[in-house]
Amino acid sequence: MSLSSHADRFSAPPTDAEGRIPLIGLTAEELKEVLAIHKLPCFRAKQVWHWIYHRGARDFESMGNLPKDLRALLAEKYSIARPKVAAEQKSSDGTIKWLLSMTDGQLVEAVFIPDGRRGTLCVSSQVGCTLTCKFCHTGTQPLVRNLGPHEILQQVMHARDALGEWPEGKGAGNEKRDLTNIVMMGMGEPLYNYDNVAKALKICMDEKGLGISKRRITLSTSGVVPQIVQCGEELNVNLAISLHAPDDKLRSEIMPINNKYPLQELLDACRNYPGLSDVRRVTFEYVMLKDVNDSDDQARALAKLLRGIPCKVNIIPFNIWPGSGYECSAPDRIDSFARILEQAGYDAPVRRPRGRDILAACGQLKSASVRAKKARHPEEPAAEAPAPATEA
Ligand code: SAH
Ligand code: SF4
């Protein structure tokens, strides 16, 4: 088995700087195959898996039921380490934002948002994004590379580390954990890194893996129709769509992916997403951009457009970032827009901004840190802007 098959310039590095292969992110079968290279029997793979995903081991030395020489061998060739924390910010409302440094130095954001009994981790899927949605700060950062399955899982595992939620901490049962939900809503378009995201989410959902039910995982996409279908069939996690406009003309203007997958195709894929019901609905995200997409007529057009799809609309006040050219709609405009949707029979909650005091939209912690680094090392060249990794 080649652990670095399909590698291209947008792939995660196959090893860390010391040449060690990450074991996090391998399927149980792959882990068995890797250990079989060293003539180790299946039960050893089961033990290692248990240490990684149940006990939260961060090094092989702590794997007490493995022989010492085996622990040394694993430590020499493989890694189960977490990314380094390049920055951490805690908001007065409990939100924690981490900037994690991957083994090649790429920076990735993960944000934990506590909300009553629920605690949601917002996970990134790529460094940067190939898409260029006009209102999105990540869209201004060229795609550097896809995250590997291990790097997606490492965000969740780091959060469990930081929150003390492995068995020796609070994690004896899911109900006791603060981290209950995952949203693939950080940097990047998860469906343009589908294979790695799927591999990571399968381990998240696996009862023998991280054990987070598919009902507690939401994948947000700008609307990559073929992979929405695939995601429905293979993962069937909750689906969120970044919609942001009620007609093709405006949507194509602010979200260029709409030229490739226009509204009718997108909404058909949503309508046919497996397992939808009154209790399991698609979430449409709608960012409120002043004088762009926020009129009463546009609210009525949206209500008409979504007719027949079991859904709710999350209304998101625009998170302003310098140079975006957009403003957030006024509170009474947002209320009026939401009221029209509610009168038409939709749930249309307005999302409370969280972590305002630490920073604003996703992507900004990273940008602030890159700016600070540039100020310290002005001679370093800017990141190369690669051609899109996918057929965006
Ligand atoms: N690429 C995926 C997931 C990441 S973006 C997607 O587009 O769905 C996560 C969400 O944040 C999306 O709904 C996106 O439209 C929204 N978003 C991006 N920039 C924003 C901003 N400045 N203010 C508010 N929401 C924003
Ligand atoms: Fe990429 Fe999503 Fe931002 Fe669009 S909204 S640029 S798809 S991260």
pLDDT digits (tens, 9 = 90+) for 74-96: 999 999 999 999 999 999 999 99
Ligand 2 binding pocket includes 126 (Cβ within 6 Å): no
- In ligand 2, which atom is closest to the CA atom of 242? 5
| SS3 of residue 90 by DSSP | strand
Is the pLDDT reported for residue 289 higher than 70?
A: yes
The secondary element (H helix, E strand) that includes residue 111 is: strand 107-115
Torsion region of 363: left, alpha or beta (phi above 0 gives left; psi -120 to 50 gives alpha): left
Cβ atoms of 89 and 365 within 8 Å: the answer is: yes
Active site amino acids: 109, 362
DSSP for 38-58?
A: TT--HHHHHHHHHHHHTS--S
CB 290 within 8 A of CB 333: yes
**pLDDT confidence tier of residue 142, bands split at 50, 70 and 90:** confident
**Which atom belonging to ligand 2 lies closest to the Cα atom of 130?**
1
CA–centroid distance, 359 to ligand 1, in Å, is: 15
User: Residue 253 has which token pair?
Assistant: 């203007």
Residues 289 and 243: their CA atoms lie apart, in Å, by: 13
Q: How distant is the alpha carbon of residue 69 from its chain centre?
A: 37
Ligand 2 lined by 243 (C-beta under 6 Å):
no
What's the confidence (pLDDT) of residue 363? 47
Structural tokens at position 63: 């794997």
Mean pLDDT throughout 345-363? 73
Separation of CA 132 and ligand 2 centre (Å): 6
Q: pLDDT band for 149, please (50, 70, 90 cuts).
A: very high
Atom 20 of ligand 1, residue of closest alpha carbon = 136
Centroid of ligand 2 to alpha carbon of 30 (angstroms) = 32
Q: ∠76-79-84 over CA atoms, to 5°?
A: 125
What single string gives the DSSP state of each residue in 251-318? HHHH-THHHHS-HHHHHHHHHT-TT--SSS-EEEEEEEBTTTT-SHHHHHHHHHHTTTS-EEEEEEE-
Judge contact between 225 and 266, C-beta under 8 A. yes
**Ligand 1 center to 287 CA (angstroms):** 8
Residue 185 Cα to ligand 1 middle (Å): 7
Question: DSSP per residue over 55-87, as a string?
Answer: S--SSGGG-TTS-HHHHHHHHHHEE-PPPEEEE
| The predicted structure's pLDDT at residue 357 | 61
- 321-324 long-range contacts (CB < 8 A, ≥24 apart) are 321/137, 321/360, 321/361, 321/363, 321/364, 324/134, 324/135, 324/137
pLDDT of residue 1: 44
CA 7 to chain centre: 21
Residue of 183, 178, 156, 199 whose CA lies nearest to 53: 156
- Residue that has been written with the tokens 């749930």 in this structure: 347
What was the pLDDT predicted at 156? 98
| For ligand 2, atom 4: residue with the closest CA | 133
Residue tagged 């992507």 (tokens): 363
Say how many Å lie between the CA of residue 171 and the centre of ligand 2: 33
Question: How high does pLDDT run on average in the chain?
Answer: 89
Residue 190: per-residue pLDDT: 98
pLDDT at residue 328, rounded to an integer: 96
Closest to 314 in 3D by CA, of 346, 291, 292: 346
Looking at ligand 1, which residue's alpha carbon is closest to its atom 12? 242
| Span 224-279, pLDDT tens digits | 999 999 999 999 999 999 999 999 999 999 999 999 999 999 999 999 999 999 99
Rounded Cα distance between 369 and 88, Å, is: 11
Q: What is the pTM of this model?
A: 0.91
pLDDT in tens, 4-44: 445 677 999 999 989 999 999 999 999 999 999 999 999 99
What domains can be seen in the chain, in order of their start residue? 17-79 (1.10.150.530), 84-376 (3.20.20.70)
- Which residues lie below 8 Å from residue 216, measured CB to CB, with a gap of 6+? 180, 181, 182
Q: What is the dihedral of CA 268, 131, 237, 83, to 10 degrees?
A: 180
- CB of 316 shorter than 6 A to ligand 1: yes
44 close to 63: Cβ distance less than 8 angstroms: no
Q: Is 221 in the pocket of ligand 1 (CB under 6 A)?
A: yes
Q: Which residues contact 203 (CB under 8 A, 6 or more apart)?
A: 25, 27, 53, 149, 153, 209, 210
For atom 8 of ligand 2, the residue with the nearest CA is 188
Question: From the CB of 319, is ligand 2 less than 6 Å away?
Answer: no
- 138 in contact with ligand 2, CB cutoff 6 A: yes
Separation CA 294–CA 288 (nearest Å) = 6
Buried b (16+ CB within 10 A) or exposed e, 337-357: bbebbeebebebebeeebbee
Asked whether 242 lines ligand 2 (CB < 6 A), one says: yes
